[in-house]
Amino acid sequence: LGVGTPEVFVELAGMGADIFDCVMRSGNARNGRLCTARGAINICNARFKYDMEPVDAQCTCYTCRHYSRAYLRHLYMARELLAYRLNTLHNLHYYLDLMQQMREAINQDSFDVFKKEFYAQRNS
């Protein structure tokens, strides 16, 4: 237990693991690190100051549907508590969605295809 990155989740699921325990999602969120399909971003980065896009265009979480990277960066830089909540909501949703995708791939006996597509997207 104590694993945390999406890559580790995918690798361990491929080996048959089905229980994961980690505080990394909320810990990363509190430090401005947000998960995306292409890899993690640090919302503190100055390049997000005027970025009106959601954290991840593919994500359907409350944070991505309602707030831009610029606003999340502003909240985080101002040390607003809302930043930590919105960031945590996003990261938790990301992982829940990842787990759902892996379950579906396993049930359809297509986990190897899922894994290949997962890494291709992260490396794009």
Q: What percent of the chain has pLDDT over 90?
A: 80
Q: What was the pLDDT predicted at 124?
A: 75
- Alpha carbon distance 113, 35 (integer Å): 21
Is residue 1 over pLDDT 60?
no
Phi, psi of 52 (to 5 degrees): -90, 5
- Residue 90 to residue 50: CA distance in whole angstroms: 20
Give the pLDDT of residue 24.
77
Q: State the pLDDT at residue 21.
A: 74
Q: Does 62 have pLDDT greater than 60?
A: yes
pLDDT at 32: 96
Query: Quick one: what percent of the chain has pLDDT higher than 70?
Result: 98
Beta-bridge partners for 34: 41
Instruction: Give 33's strand partners.
Output: 42
Average pLDDT (57-68) is 97
pTM: 0.90
Beta-carbon-side half-sphere exposure of residue 53 (alpha carbons within 13 Å):
10
Mean pLDDT of 102-116: 97
